[in-house]
Every structure is written in C-alpha cells, then in structure tokens.
C-alpha cells in the first residue's frame, strides 16, 4: 500500500469514529484509492473467507470489472414496490455516508451490487432458500478495473465504541490479503446431469401456443431447469475465469449469498446509465452458430428474415421503446435488428439509446423495463400470470435484473440469463425461450438446449 493512502485512510477512519460518536449511531465510510494492477478473479478468489460473500461483474464491452469481498451494508426489499424501497434505502445510505473518492470513476466508491427475483408474487421453493426477493450489497472491499486502471474501495461501518487503531490494523491485514497474488483452485467437473420434466415443458409450450392463438397474449417466455451433480464442491473463481475467457459480448456476474452462488454470462443488457445517457438492449430471436463461416452466414441471414423470430424480437423493441420514451428524450432505435454473435449462438439485436429526463434514476428504469417481453412476454401482466400459474420452475433470480449502481447515478443492470445457481456439489442451470403462435415445441426445446451450453461448458459439463 502506498503510505500516503494509509495516512489518509487513518484520518478518514478518525473522522468516521468522531461522526459515529457525535450522532450516537454507526457511520459508513467509503474510501477509494488507486492500487497496483491485480487480476479481479484473483481478488475474488482471495475473498473466499470474508463474511457476507463475494460479488463479481464484468461488462460486455470488457471496459469495467468489479470484484467484491465481504458485506458492509445490505439493502433488501420485497413486494411490488421493491424498487422504490431500494431507491429510498440507497438514497439515505449515500446521503449519510462519508465518501472519500477523488477518483469519481463509474463503479468506484460506495456501489450497491445485486439482483431481484423474476416474480415477487410467485411462491418461493427451497431451491432459492439462500436468496431474498431483492438484495443490493455494498461490499466491504471492492476492486474496480475501469478502462485499465485499478481502484480499491474500502467500505467500513464504524461504531461509536470502535478504536481507530484497531480498524486500521484490520483494514491493512485484509487489504494485503485481497491484493496478494494467488493461484486459482481447480474448476468443477460434472459427474451427472438431468433435465427437469422435459416432456412436460414441451407440453407447456404447446399449451402456451394454444393460449396465444385464442387471443389475449402475443408472446409468453417459458423457462426450464437442468440439474448437474459435481464430483466435488464447486469452486466459483475458476468458473468466472472460464466465463470471462470464453463468453465475449456478455456480462459476467456472480452473487454469493449464504452457501450458494448465482452466476452467469448474459448477453442481455437491461439498462446502462452514465452521465444521463441511457442504453438499453432488445435481444430476442435465436439461432445456433455455424461450423463453417459460410454456414454461419447462412444461418445468420436466415435468422434475420425468419418471420417467427422477427415477431418475437419486434415485441421486445416496441415495449422497450415505449417504456424508454416515457422517461427520456432523444430516443434512437434502428429500424432493423442486426445479428449479435456469441460463442455458441446468435441473436437478433436492436440497441435503444436515449437521454434520461431529470428526476429519474436507474432503479426507476429497471422497474419500468422488468420484465421485458424477452423474459416475460406480451402483454406483460397476462404473460407473467401464465408463467406464474403454469411454469413449474422456481425462477428465483433467473431472468431478472442483476447489476450495480453508484453514488453518482451511474449504473448498469443486465438480465440474469445463461445462468446457474451453484449449491456446493450440485447446481441448477436455467434456460428459456420466447413462445409465439408459430412456435414449435421441439424447436423451442432445442433452442433452450443451446442456451445451456455456455454455462454447462464452464462447469465441466461438455467441451
Ligand atoms: C430466456 C432466455 O433468452 C431470451 C430469449 C430469447 C429467444 O427466445 O430468442 C433470446 C434471448 C433472450 O432474450 C434464456 O437464455 O434463458
Ligand atoms: Mg427464441
């Protein structure tokens, strides 16, 4: 550690202890400093033993990575006004925090990272016992790698009886551990896997197409579960390393809570806000990648002109454009989708750009957008009601917003798909697809099989 930073940190701790004593209450101190380069996955691995769990985020552009260890503060919420609850809790924390952050880079300082359940009205099963309906975490330590520069934020909750010297000693020890070089443990190996009720799921797709043909709904997204057994307790850090290496154009995320870890590599941005500039993504319509370049181009061109996939995609474009237009100006949406290539598959993609009106926050937009017709359907209420009533899967945090926001109104949330819930020596993988009136159950089933591939391959399930 550079000595000046330690001296400044010591002064900041003194200031926080004084503030805690004068207000007779705990005080959050957030201290950000530049640090020498360190691999964020190593930082994540070093944080294994920290109380409260770890977080990880790598944006699709590869320009921002966040790794967090421990938990300084937890914000939880539930029910239909959960986003508003989160907003007011976050505002109060930031107003009262002592923030030492001369850097003011997006993703530095006191950031809150976390996720939400897909449907707060659906009964929860034991599968998601370690995850509340909604949770945002301020990590005790956050490594931010932004445009190649490294910053460490220490978030400390100081109490009136704390001694500054004790706090500084603990900080120095924990920071040294986190920033030390390390060798990643071995990744998991899948010893067996089993699909959950595949035939019943195909029958449900057929039922959904019948419901759509009867009128009232245009699209219903249906998801299913694949369970895998590992040969041993799974280490998360090597899985994140493999995802970061193999899944380009995707957001890599992990949220450890209790004994479990929800992680994934999702191509689907929900919303990014930086300096009031808003970027959202319409991603729906899927095809595999070709083995040869010629075959890949043929499949891609076929996807671009396929009636069923174009209708699936257009429902998403219309909804997001309408939702963004209600709170933004200068809304720009291309007339036609383009191909969005991933390692194992390709999607139809339409970006939505806008400028946020004053008074709106990123959680306002998350609330407006979730669930988009890419994960719920259209109309939203009717399609989510069908999913709630008929889908056997407990989606938990799958298919819902996951991401971060900082103290300067910057932030980014993605839709948590291509994901898995890791529970010691076993895991549940999730994949879904948009069902429209022309959907064929077998084809949708095959589409979900392709969507399991990215996460299954890094869990040691297949090459
Ligand atoms: C629901 C998922 O993917 C969504 C559905 C898609 C489709 O049906 O074409 C494509 C991308 C996603 O918006 C998933 O991967 O689980
Ligand atoms: Mg589809």
Measuring CA to CA, which residue among 108, 154, 148 is closest to residue 411?
Answer: 108
Please check whether residue 414 lies inside any domain of the structure.
Answer: yes
Distance 222 CA to ligand 1 centre (A): 9
Last residue of one domain, picked from the residues 132, 152, 178 = 178
Please check whether residue 183 lies inside any domain of the structure.
Answer: no
Query: Please, which residues have CB less than 5 A from ligand 2, an ion?
Result: 286, 433-434
Is residue 196 domain-shared with residue 169, that is, in the same domain? no
Q: What is the CATH number of the domain that holds 454?
A: 3.60.120.10
Residue 337 structural domain: 190-458
* Best residue for ligand 1 mutational test, from 310, 347, 429 (most atoms within 8 Å of Cβ): 347
Q: What is the pLDDT of residue 1?
A: 47
Q: Which residues pair with 56 in a beta bridge?
A: 67, 254
Distance 276 CA to ligand 1 centre (A): 28
DSSP 240-261: HHHHHHH-TTSEEEEEEETTEE
Please check whether residue 184 lies inside any domain of the structure.
Answer: no
CB atoms within 10 A of CB 150: 19
Please check whether residue 195 lies inside any domain of the structure.
Answer: yes
Residues of the chain with pLDDT under 70: 1-6, 463
Is residue 144 domain-shared with residue 197, that is, in the same domain? no
Q: Look at ligand 1, atom 10, and give the residue with the nearest C-alpha.
A: 284
Q: What is the pLDDT of residue 5?
A: 60
Burial 387-406 (b: 16+ CB within 10 A, else e): beeebebbbbbbbbbbbbbb
User: What is d(CA 90, CA 256) in angstroms, rounded to the nearest whole number?
Assistant: 20
**Whether the model pTM is above 0.90:** yes
Is residue 165 domain-shared with residue 222, that is, in the same domain? no
Please check whether residue 443 lies inside any domain of the structure.
Answer: yes
Distance in Å from the first CA to the final CA of the chain = 41
Please check whether residue 463 lies inside any domain of the structure.
Answer: no
Is residue 230 domain-shared with residue 117, that is, in the same domain? no
Q: What is the pLDDT of residue 461?
A: 82
Please check whether residue 37 lies inside any domain of the structure.
Answer: yes
User: What is d(CA 403, CA 397) in angstroms, rounded to the nearest whole number?
Assistant: 12
Give the total number of structural domains in the chain: 2
User: What is d(CA 204, CA 200) in angstroms, rounded to the nearest whole number?
Assistant: 6
Measuring CA to CA, which residue among 455, 431, 420, 318 is closest to residue 378?
Answer: 318
Backbone angles phi, psi at 160, to 5 degrees: -65, -25
User: What is d(CA 251, CA 403) in angstroms, rounded to the nearest whole number?
Assistant: 9
Is residue 171 domain-shared with residue 197, that is, in the same domain? no
Q: Which residues are catalytic?
A: 219, 268
The ipTM estimated for the assembled molecules is 0.99
User: What is d(CA 386, CA 45) in angstroms, rounded to the nearest whole number?
Assistant: 41
Is residue 128 domain-shared with residue 166, that is, in the same domain? yes
Is residue 303 domain-shared with residue 438, that is, in the same domain? yes
Is residue 284 domain-shared with residue 241, that is, in the same domain? yes
Whether the bond between 242 and the residue before it is cis, its omega within 30 degrees of 0, is no
Is residue 323 domain-shared with residue 260, that is, in the same domain? yes
Please check whether residue 185 lies inside any domain of the structure.
Answer: no
User: What is d(CA 226, CA 421) in angstroms, rounded to the nearest whole number?
Assistant: 11
- Residue 215's SS3 state is coil
Distance 268 CA to ligand 1 centre (A): 9
Measuring CA to CA, which residue among 404, 429, 427 is closest to residue 417?
Answer: 429
- Residue 17 C-beta-side C-alpha neighbours within 13 Å: 14
Q: What is the pLDDT of residue 462?
A: 74
Helix axis angle, 164-178 to 3-23, nearest 10°:
130
Is residue 167 domain-shared with residue 220, that is, in the same domain? no
Last residue of one domain, picked from the residues 154, 178, 202 = 178
Backbone angles phi, psi at 148, to 5 degrees: 85, -5
Q: Is the CB of 432 under 6 A from ligand 1?
A: yes
Last residue of one domain, picked from the residues 112, 147, 178 = 178
User: What is d(CA 300, CA 297) in angstroms, rounded to the nearest whole number?
Assistant: 5
* Best residue for ligand 1 mutational test, from 374, 419, 445 (most atoms within 8 Å of Cβ): 374
Is residue 196 domain-shared with residue 158, that is, in the same domain? no
Q: Using the atom order of ligand 1, give the atom closest to the CA of residue 221.
A: 1
User: What is d(CA 329, CA 354) in angstroms, rounded to the nearest whole number?
Assistant: 6
- Residue 125's SS3 state is coil
Is residue 198 domain-shared with residue 165, that is, in the same domain? no
């Amino acid at each position: 550690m550079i000595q000046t930073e330690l001296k400044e940190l010591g002064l900041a701790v003194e200031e926080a202890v004084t503030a805690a004593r004068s207000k007779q209450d705990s005080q959050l101190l957030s201290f950000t400093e530049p640090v020498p380069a360190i691999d964020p996955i190593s930082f994540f691995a070093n944080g294994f033993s920290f109380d409260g769990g770890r977080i990880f985020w790598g944006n699709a552009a590869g320009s921002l990575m966040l790794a967090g260890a421990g938990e300084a503060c937890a914000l939880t919420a539930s029910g239909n006004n959960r986003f508003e609850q989160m907003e007011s809790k976050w505002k109060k924390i930031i107003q009262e925090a002592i923030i030492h952050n001369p850097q003011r880079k997006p993703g530095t300082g006191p950031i809150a990272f976390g996720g939400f359940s897909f449907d707060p009205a659906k009964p929860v099963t034991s599968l998601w016992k370690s995850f509340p309906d909604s949770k945002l975490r301020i990590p005790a330590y956050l490594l931010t790698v932004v445009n190649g520069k490294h910053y460490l934020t220490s978030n400390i909750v100081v109490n009136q009886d704390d001694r500054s010297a004790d706090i500084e000693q603990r900080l120095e020890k924990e920071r040294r551990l986190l920033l030390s070089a390390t060798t990643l443990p071995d990744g998991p190996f899948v010893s067996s896997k089993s699909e959950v009720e595949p035939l019943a799921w195909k029958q449900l797709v057929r039922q959904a197409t019948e419901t759509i043909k009867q009128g009232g709904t245009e699209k219903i997204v249906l998801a299913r579960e694949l369970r895998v057994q590992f040969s041993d307790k799974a280490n998360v850090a090597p899985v994140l390393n493999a995802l970061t290496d193999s899944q380009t154009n995707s957001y890599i995320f992990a949220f450890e809570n209790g004994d479990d870890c929800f992680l994934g590599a999702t191509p689907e941005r929900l919303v990014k806000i930086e300096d009031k500039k808003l970027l959202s993504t319409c991603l729906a319509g899927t095809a595999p990648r070709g083995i040869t370049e010629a075959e890949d181009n043929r499949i891609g061109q076929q996807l671009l002109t396929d009636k069923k996939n174009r209708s699936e995609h257009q429902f998403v474009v219309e909804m997001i454009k309408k939702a963004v237009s209600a709170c933004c100006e200068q809304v720009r949406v291309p007339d036609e989708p383009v191909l969005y290539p991933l390692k194992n598959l390709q999607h139809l993609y339409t970006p939505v750009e806008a400028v946020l009106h004053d008074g709106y926050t990123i959680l306002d937009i998350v609330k407006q957008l979730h669930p988009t017709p890419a994960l719920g359907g259209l109309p939203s209420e009717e399609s989510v009601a069908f999913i709630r009533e008929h889908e056997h899967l407990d989606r938990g945090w799958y298919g819902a917003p996951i991401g971060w926001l900082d103290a300067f109104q910057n932030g980014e949330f993605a839709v948590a798909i291509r994901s898995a819930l890791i529970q010691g020596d076993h895991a549940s993988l999730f994949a879904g697809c948009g069902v429209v009136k022309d959907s064929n159950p077998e084809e949708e089933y095959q589409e979900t099989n392709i969507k399991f591939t990215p996460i299954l391959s890094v869990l040691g399930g297949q090459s």
